[in-house]
Amino acid sequence: MSALHITKNNFQQEVIHGDKPVLLDFWASWCGPCRMVGPIVDEIAAQRTDIKVGKINVEEQRELAAAFRVMSIPTLVVMKDGQIVEKAGGARPKDQILSML
């Protein structure tokens, strides 16, 4: 499965009311560290069927970025049952991202 493009329009359905834990990647196209983390997040999305992976472009989805208090990007958030259980800022290697799950 590939990473989902999360917007304020599908956030409730895909993240809050989803049946799996969700890894969210807050990013922007101009962000160098985001471009490093993006392929890792895509790889996790393709390999892990037990979770959902979503990407939130902070330039397009300012309301969601504000709701999650995203102050720097990339920011990775893990949600379970509609609640934030992990949050980390900055580029991270794949093993550290997986350990958040």
pLDDT per residue as tens digits for the range 62-75: 999 999 999 999 99
Q: Is 34 a catalytic residue?
A: yes
Kindly report the number of other CB atoms within 10 A of residue 20's CB atom.
14
Confidence label for 99 from pLDDT (cuts 50, 70 and 90): very high
How long a stretch of residues is the chain?
Answer: 101
Q: Is 45 a catalytic residue?
A: no
- Residue 100 confidence (pLDDT): 96
**Closest listed residue to residue 80, CA positions, set 2, 8, 20:** 20
Q: Which of 3, 6, 22, 34 is catalytic?
A: 34
Q: Which of 6, 15, 22, 31 is catalytic?
A: 31
